[in-house]
Amino acid sequence: MKKLILGLSVAAAVFSAQATVVSFDEAGYTAGALDEQGATGGSTWNASGNTVDPTGGGSVVLATGTDTWKYGVFRENLRADSGNNDFTVSQTISWTENAETGNNDAFSLLFNDTLNGTSTMRAYLNRSGTDSYKLGIKTDLGEDLGGSTFSETLFGLDDLGDTTSDSIKFSFNLVAGASSNDWSYTISLYNETTASDIGVISDSEITTSEALFTAGNLYGGFSSSRNESTHGLTDRVITSFEVAAVPEPATLGMISAIGIGILFIRRRFMM
């Protein structure tokens, strides 16, 4: 197992973010159902209806046909450290447009208070019409906070026959504030193939349930979203997955506020 440490030093105050990066060709992943698989000897995933393909760099193949809302939740409690209040979950995805149009959720990222998601915050990527995609968020209270729409060309798709997307990084950051109506989020899309930003949506002082705010557990994961007949996509795969949690700076003491340095510690197994 190797550890990669990336440092961004701005000044004297330093806190650390523990990030776990998963590649699905690692030891511990074999062809078949994702549930209970994992590079740490199994039981890493609480999953339903999604499968692993460890070949060609490794991927999770999302549910096909009419199956919907098949989740994969990583069994790492992001609130295991009570000081953690800043959480990120991300996945690298790709897909094929197999229908001319669609209008529904095709990919989702989740934060759950339980492995099965009693209270869930969900970021979604929605195919919208014939030539665009919408990025949005729904709170655990069922409120859709809306979002922004982006041209399909930013994903490597066009009307000239290119129906296979580029490799896209889809990330969801959630920060807990002082109360259940003081959360903030940032959701972003990045094209890894062209090394270019697609877009970001963010907001502060959003409201969650009190149950989510006070929950001692928080888990990151993904969902297969709607069925293929509604969004018109197929060959939907996740080629990597990452979760991270950051402690609240105040818990580390009052060091000089000249700036902040961030250490991202990534642990993954050697291929």
Query: Residue 168 CA to chain centroid, in angstroms?
Result: 11
pLDDT tens by residue, 61-118: 998 878 888 899 999 999 998 789 999 999 999 999 989 888 889 999 999 999 988 8
Asked whether the beta carbons of 97 and 236 are under 8 A apart, the reply is: no
For residues 265 and 121, what is the distance between their CA atoms, to the nearest angstrom? Answer: 25
Within 8 A by CB and 6+ apart from 64, the residues are 228, 234
* Confidence bin at 32 (pLDDT 50/70/90): very high
Closest CA to 97 of 129, 69, 68, 70: 129
pLDDT tens by residue, 226-252: 888 888 899 999 999 999 999 865 443
What percentage of residues in the chain have a pLDDT greater than 70? 84
Supply the DSSP string of 184-204, one letter for each residue.
EEEEEEEETTTTEEEEEEEEE
pLDDT tens by residue, 40-49: 677 899 999 9
Dihedral, CA atoms, 16, 110, 219, 269, nearest 10 degrees? -60
Per the listing, tokens 């994702």 go with 34
Q: Which domains does the chain have, with CATH numbers?
A: 43-245 (2.60.120.200)
